[in-house]
Amino acid sequence: MTRQEIRQQIPMGYCKVIAQRVGVTQKSVSHFMRGKTNSHRIEMAALELIVELKKEKKNLTDKISLS
């Protein structure tokens, strides 16, 4: 997954969540997302967040379907 694809998958405001998880500033996450810096930790945290959000969305849509 490219950074552009990661950026598209992360909802607005979630750079703060990534920053808190990794222990860096929001600016560091923003720089990573825009390709100004590289950080394996930020990339992994962003990918983990995307997986979590997709699972949460699937669980909620499944609950709606069962109703």
Domain coverage including residue 34: 3-66
Residue whose entry in the numeric block shows the structure tokens 């983990």: 48
- Residue 25 DSSP one-character state: -
Structure tokens at 21: 């998880």
Structure tokens at 15: 């750079």
Q: Are 16 and 55 in contact (CB under 8 A)?
A: no
Global confidence as pTM: 0.87
Number of domains in the chain: 1
Instruction: Return the percentage of the chain with pLDDT > 90, whole number.
Output: 90
Structure tokens at 27: 């600016």
pLDDT tens, per residue, the chain with 67 residues: 899 999 999 999 999 999 999 999 999 999 999 999 999 999 999 999 999 999 999 999 998 887 6
Tell me how crowded residue 29 is: count the other CB atoms within 10 A of its CB. Answer: 25
